[in-house]
Amino acid sequence: MAMARRCALIQIKARAAPDVRKAAMRYLLAALFWLGATAAAQAAGDAGLGRAIAIEACSACHKVMPHQKQPDPVLNPDEGVSIAAPDFIRIARKYGRRPRALRDYIRAPVHPMREQMWDAQDLDAVVAFIQTLPTKRTESP
Ligand code: HEC
């Protein structure tokens, strides 16, 4: 009698198993989808965050915001000459359609622009911000 009851229990478990497996699969797929969506959002970059980072990390040398005064040229001590950093509208015109080249330049800049330690997400954010800048000459910056 006890034996029969145990068998019945096992049968119930066995019948439940495929449903559990299906549910687990659904969760797994949902998790993978979520991860994929997050990765896509990161690749696109957060322009709002990028704007804040650019003001903080670039505006000492570059004119980042339209109302900002053009900063003084930057001394290149190797050659003893000062070089004006291009304003961000010019950078957007040159690199707006080449985010990868822009990313590479910021990561490994030409002297006297300094190399900085970059978190990938921050770098994508700065690139995304630059891509939002108006590049047509008729648009006011
Ligand atoms: C210490 C000053 C300084 C800082 C800070 C700085 N830059 Fe620069 N950057 C320069 C100078 C100077 C040049 C021009 C280099 C040259 O042409 O030799 C330059 C050039 C560039 C260029 C290349 C423009 C071109 O014509 O190809 C890009 C892109 C750029 N900077 C992006 C940035 C970004 C984004 C930041 C902030 C994360 C930043 N820079 C911070 C000084 C700076």
- Mean pLDDT split into 10-residue runs, the chain, 141 residues: 54 63 72 58 80 98 96 92 96 94 96 93 97 78 51
In angstroms, rounded to a whole number, what is the distance separating the alpha carbons of residues 56 and 60? 8
Provide the token pair at 25: 């699969």
Distance (Å, rounded) from C-alpha 37 to C-alpha 121?
A: 15
CB of 86 closer than 6 angstroms to any ligand 1 atom = yes
Ligand 1 near 102 CB (within 6 A): yes
Helix (H, G, I), strand (E, B) or coil at 81: strand
CATH number of the domain at 107, please: 1.10.760.10
Domain of 115 in residue numbering reads as 47-132
For 32-94, where are the E strands, in sequence order? Answer: 74-76, 81-83
Residue 137 falls within a domain, yes or no? Answer: no
| pTM (two decimals) | 0.74
66 and 27 within one domain: no
| Per-residue pLDDT tens digits for 41-73 | 445 799 999 999 999 999 999 999 999 999 999
User: Which atom of ligand 1 lies at the shortest distance from residue 84's CA?
Assistant: 12
92 lines ligand 1 (CB under 6 A): no
58 CA → ligand 1 middle, Å:
7
Q: Is the CB of 96 under 6 A from ligand 1?
A: no
List Cβ neighbours of 61 (8 Å cut-off, separation of 6 or more).
Answer: 71, 74, 85, 113
